[in-house]
A = this chain, B = another copy of it.
Amino acid sequence: TGSRRKRARARHKPCALKELEVSVSELGLGYESDETVLFRYCSGTCEAAVRSYDLSLKSMRSRRKIKKEKVRARPCCRPLAYDDDVSFLDAYNRYYTVNELSAKECGCV
């Protein structure tokens, strides 16, 4: 049906930068503050970014040449750079600065 196709399409969008306006409390970092911040994050798939490295790593794993190791044989949609630090006053008038909170640029790594 249309909605299932729409949901499927949502799952297969290429890796890209997206943004949400949220309150500092909603960041889930333990701060209490109604101040709002722009939270930018990386979302989407990296299907087009598969390299020979990924194919060979998968092959080594399936041939048990690599065993019981934590390896990632697919690219990750992740930040390549982060926005500047974010500062805010919490509900108790204390000043905080958080770094590497919001993504500036995304890529398939």
Residues of chain A at the chain B interface (Cβ within 8 Å): 7, 10-11, 13, 18, 20, 22, 26-29, 39, 41-45, 51-53, 55-60, 62-63, 65-66, 68-72, 75-80, 82, 98-103, 109
B10 & A103 in contact (Cβ 8 Å cutoff): no
How many copies of this chain does one complex carry? 2
B29 & A101 in contact (Cβ 8 Å cutoff): no
Dominant SS at the A interface? mixed
A82 & B60 in contact (Cβ 8 Å cutoff): no
B52 & A101 in contact (Cβ 8 Å cutoff): yes
A26 & B63 in contact (Cβ 8 Å cutoff): yes
Across the two chains, which residue of chain B brings its CB closest to A76? B76
Shortest distance between the CB of A7 and any CB in chain B (Å): 6
